[in-house]
A and B are shown apart, each in its own frame.
Chain A
């Protein structure tokens, strides 16, 4: 509806394998797994975060808490939007001070969401470290931000949209590149 699918970049199998690799990278890099917490950025970051937590449990028998961060109140374009976004709940029911936080989002693009998310996290406490996990890095950064764990680097044009669809929200696991159709 109003957009053309240009390519399917990942399917369910591919997403599962990528998350497996990213989880292994987290385990490799963090010695003290008990100090890990996961924070997913609404909406799809939550479910990717939960999947990573489930994989850590499967591989290491360690329960890593997963929280939910809504960045609406930290956006930098608050006064420029025609209408503001619906604010949703931030639910991080555990302390993040002195923790190693794995921040999870689906697509890394301008970096502005991550900037907002880091501000949001710091209002909740001072973590020992924040590491960023994204399924797709599509480039076009406007801020000096990079991800620590990247599922796939995907060169795109600015006109294109990268859509990550997850079973929990969209009923299907896939990553698509789409382009809005001209009228």
Chain B
């Protein structure tokens, strides 16, 4: 009877996937499915978050995620301010806490935070009034990416239980892989991690993943193949001998893809290094859902903003 029934997401912040329940994840995905229609309209806007102020607080470069949050906020009629490292006073020596306090003094309602240090959004959430959304922290989590990946998988596969999802590449440095691993395990999918041994340590088994260092073996029977970018900027040591060798062993080629199921989908969180982790043609093939992921990102972020910012202003947890 109540339109409220089935609503499970009641958190103040979205900091990671690890702490979410499966039902909360499904609520976000269902809400996103309702939001998707708005982006198909001629007037791509609803008045829901009128008068709310969202700040994109990006201490690390990003185009996709930042623009996606910006469009999501705008389609819900929120005002959004972009604040990124090179133009900010951080270069003038301001501390993170001061930066956030100053922004909050301008009556913000939500902060979308990306930072190169794992845990930075959690630290900000510990003292600020605004809702904090983690848009990627160090090598820790990138919850909205995992949510949009899940949304895309559900769109094509209609289920999670029993799906075989292979994540390929630099798992060690990937917050996308961590968030996806948490999410897919909670929803009942099987997750196989593959890549050079130094970048795919055994410890990930503790989080419920299966480890397989041979890409060929990992791909057998896969429903979803998720490719990751080699993150040169996060690698302080040499984790594999050369890009050429990496390509030989871990580049997704048409030949290798034949090992996966016929209807397997190829995913990539972007940006793509064509010809390194994936053959250029494959990224544009019919099996690729890479652009669908980008499109779905907006609906998922609209859902997150709606679910966090709606309702009476509550006291921040802690």
Contacts and interface: CB of A to CB of B under 8 A. Distances in A.
Contact of A85 (B7, B45, B312): B7
B47 A81 contact: no
A110 interface: no
B310 interface: yes
B188 interface: no
Interface string B20-49: 000000010011011101100111011110
Contacts of A180: none
Interface stretch (A10-18, A57-65, A69-77, A151-159): A69-77
Nearest to B303: A87
A123 B45 contact: yes
Contacts of B4: 83, 85-86
A120 B306 CA distance: 17
A73 B47 contact: yes
A80 B46 contact: no
B3 A86 contact: yes
B311 interface: yes
Contacts of B43: 123-124
A88 B46 contact: no
B10 interface: yes
A78 B3 contact: no
Contacts of B45: 123
B6 interface: yes
B7 A86 contact: yes
B222 interface: no
Contact of A81 (B41, B303, B306, B312): B312
A91 interface: yes
B48 A80 contact: no
Interface string A70-106: 1011100011111111111111000000000000000
A10 to B, nearest CB: 18
B267 interface: no
Contacts of A90: 34, 37
Contact of A89 (B3, B33, B42, B312): B33
Contacts of B312: 79-82
A124 B41 CA distance: 7
Contacts of B310: 78-79, 81, 83-84
A83 B311 contact: yes
A43 to B, nearest CB: 8
Interface string A39-74: 000110000000000000000000000000010111
B34 A87 contact: yes
Given A79-B312, A83-B4, A123-B45, A70 B307 contact: no
Nearest to B48: A73
Contacts of B313: 79
Contacts of B30: 86
Given A91-B37, A124-B41, A85 B3 contact: yes
Contacts of A119: 47
B311 A89 contact: no
Interface in B46-73: 46-48
A163 to B, nearest CB: 8
A82 B2 CA distance: 14
Contact of B34 (A70, A120, A124): A70
A125 B46 contact: no
A5 to B, nearest CB: 14
Contact of B31 (A43, A78, A81, A86): A86
A127 B46 CA distance: 18
Contacts of B76: 73
Contact of B35 (A74, A87, A123): A87
Contacts of A83: 4, 7, 10, 310-311
Contacts of A84: 7, 306-307, 310-311
Contacts of B27: 86
Contacts of A123: 41, 43, 45-46
A83 B35 CA distance: 18
A58 to B, nearest CB: 31
